[in-house]
Chains A and B, each alone.
Chain A
Amino acid sequence: MTGLKWLRASIVLLFIGIVCELIALLDLTPPTFVAFAFVGIPCLVIGMLIYLVHVWRLLRSKDAL
């Protein structure tokens, strides 16, 4: 995947995570809590990690690190 594709994957994951979190925060019930804990948080964390890895690889390719 190119850099842009990775970033787009990150956007999609973060969007899914934010939607799960919004639903959980606005109407917290056991199912929405579980959805947030097992879908929302992993999506948010993986989305952030993808972005960080992308930045790290970019900086390395430019000998900035």
Chain B
Amino acid sequence: MTEALPIILVVLAAAFAVLLWLRLPRLVVERSGRIVLLGALFVMPLGLVQVGVSQSLHESKQKEFCTSCHEMEVYATSLQIDDREYLPAYHYQNHLVLQATACYTCHTDYTMYGDVSAKMNGMKHLAIHYFGDIPAAGEIALYSPYPNDNCLQCHRGTRRFEKKASHTTSGVTLELLYSNQKSCVSGGCHDKIHEIKDLASAELWGPPPFPIPESLKRAAAPGGAEDPFAAPAAEDPFADEPAPAPATTPPAGDVK
């Protein structure tokens, strides 16, 4: 029944439109017909626009909407990483953000036009999805550095946040955090975000919602030569020094 519902509704709408079309000459001359036209051509569409806009905006905040694009599946899977150091996973699994709207909560700027800008970025993503070069799994980057306001919309002023020792020591002050001069996700702080490169090797809390891409599995495999995420190899501090000469015993006759 649910599969047939859209077709039924479209057929009903089409039947109503055809009826209006055919009865139009009579409707425009009769008083009751004009009332029908007012309802069909103005009042009903006005209500439909209002309902449609509010409902579609609401639905587009859901996690399922974001992950309906294949590129976002790995990010949804990263929310299942079983390690509290991974910030999105920790927030998601412990309901520190609403699970149903987790993407929207953290990735919509907490500003006056945050919603509008998120929707415009969404349009850009869709254009790239269909017409552009899609980055590989885990190589999608933010347009701009992650703003602290997105964290502070919940954490600002909370006792646990302000009393935490690491927020008030070693070069970090609440003022720096509140003014966005020191990023919450900067190195050494909360710097483990989605970390897609770790996905294949990380333990997950429950079954993955989407299969992990083969490219990530190959990269995580021991000895994987094609690891695109591998950190650059540490330089050998002794590389420039000449190799020590092999110890040789001088011939007895050379000793002076």
Contacts and interface: CB of A to CB of B under 8 A. Distances in A.
B48 A21 contact: yes
A49 to B, nearest CB: 10
**Main SS of the interface on chain A?**
helix
Contact of B42 (A3, A4, A33, A52): A52
B100 interface: no
Interface residues of B, number: 34
B67 to A, nearest CB: 11
Contact of B6 (A4, A7, A26, A37): A26
B126 A30 contact: yes
Given A28-B60, A30-B122, A40-B52, A14 B41 contact: yes
A25 B56 contact: yes
B21 A8 contact: yes
B28 interface: yes
Nearest to B9: A22
A7 B24 contact: yes
A30 to B, nearest CB: 5
Interface in A17-48: 17-19, 21-31, 33-34, 36-37, 40-41, 44-45, 47-48
B48 A18 contact: yes
B112 interface: no
Interface residues of A, number: 35
A37 B119 CA distance: 11
B59 interface: yes
Interface string B13-56: 11001001100110010000000010011100110110011011
B248 interface: no
29 contacts: A4-B24, A7-B28, A8-B24, A10-B41, A11-B20, A14-B40, A15-B14, A17-B45, A18-B45, A18-B48, A19-B13, A22-B10, A23-B6, A24-B52, A25-B52, A26-B6, A29-B65, A30-B69, A33-B60, A34-B123, A34-B126, A44-B48, A45-B49, A48-B41, A48-B42, A48-B46, A51-B41, A51-B42, A52-B42
Interface of B: 5-6, 9-10, 13-14, 17, 20-21, 24-25, 28, 37, 40-42, 45-46, 48-49, 52-53, 55-56, 59-60, 65, 68-69, 122-123, 125-126, 129
Closest 7 CB pairs of A and B: A51-B41, A15-B17, A28-B59, A21-B52, A26-B6, A44-B45, A18-B13
